[in-house]
Amino acid sequence: MSALITGIHHITAIAGNAQENVDFYTGILGLRMVKKTINFDAPDVYHFYFGDELGTPGTVFTTFPFEGARKGTKGAGELTYTAFSIPSASLTYWKERLRKYNIITSDVLTRFGEQLIRFEDHDGMGIELIANDQDDRKGWVYGNIPAEHVIKGFYGATLNLKAKELTEKLLTQFMNYKFIAEEEGRYRYGTQGKPGDIVDIVLDKTGRQGVQSAGTVHHIAFRTANNQTQLEIQKILMNNGYQVTEVKDRNYFKSIYFREPGGVLFEIATDEPGFDIDEDEAHLGELLKLPEWAEPHREKIASRLAKVQLNTEKYV
């Protein structure tokens, strides 16, 4: 039987200023804006989706930009670092590019035999770029980053937890993850152990609880193929004591949510139907797209949203 969970679908963060958010992820990191819509649970707030050419599951970083939001703090019970995958020879390029835009990066670090750099976005969001030769995804090659250096998609995510046993049980018994290795207190898990499905747990037994606001991750979503497989995993989770929501229609995928034992909000999202259901592939992310229930209120909603534009030409 095929796995119900096949890796990371998307990761969603809270941001501050909407234009700065767009500039950083499309301009500096060179991701494609694949969808500009609203937070379905807070319609006066944008929901931006950044990813590869089509917004393929496993490449999509999304944000809720709350204008004026105070900065959150990294801590226990949070996803503290989102790791993107880059080609193995691209670290020097990215260090120089980030320095050009006054972004401070770590020295080159080594983890599980691979090199990486660590830095933060304008809101303090923790980001890593991990160089590797295991990723055959194309990334967004028509943007402002040379094709040989583009971000391919997610590598993985770091969960900062006070204990790992119950979260490890969830991942390995009910979500198709397997323990891969441990290194210096970092425990690695994967569905196949490749970029796009890695979850690391770092123990922070005495650390303070994280505070969620701008610059912190709201949730991590895992991939499942379709509505049927989503209902199967929902049933498994509920039968094993997890408090799982009903299925929510997010237009571009269906979602269920629950908190893992360490406090991080998990989502299971379907690969179907994708981001081209209301825009053709050549024009993804160009217009404000609203769910059907919000269309009668388009004028009011649009009037409350800040005007944003793509400024990628400034970041060549």
Please state the rounded mean pLDDT for residues 106-126: 98
Is the Cβ–Cβ distance between 182 and 188 less than 8 Å? yes
In whole angstroms, give the CA distance from residue 190 to residue 58.
13
Please state the rounded mean pLDDT for residues 196-224: 95
Is residue 148 scored above 80 in pLDDT? Answer: yes
DSSP code, position 298? H
Task: For residue range 54-63, list pLDDT tens digits in order.
Answer: 999 999 999 9
Q: Which of 58, 190, 61 is nearest to 136 (CA)?
A: 58
Is residue 140 scored above 70 in pLDDT? Answer: yes
Is residue 1 scored above 70 in pLDDT? Answer: no
Instruction: Please give the share of the chain, as a percent, with pLDDT higher than 90.
Output: 96
Task: Give me 190's structure tokens.
Answer: 């994967």
Global confidence as pTM = 0.97
Q: Which of 312, 289, 310, 277 is nearest to 46 (CA)?
A: 289
Supply the pLDDT for residue 191. 97
DSSP code, position 250? -
Supply the pLDDT for residue 206. 83
155: confidence class by pLDDT, cuts 50, 70, 90: very high
At 239, give phi and psi (nearest 5°).
Answer: -65, -15
Averaged confidence pLDDT in the chain = 96
205: confidence class by pLDDT, cuts 50, 70, 90: confident
Please state the rounded mean pLDDT for residues 268-287: 97
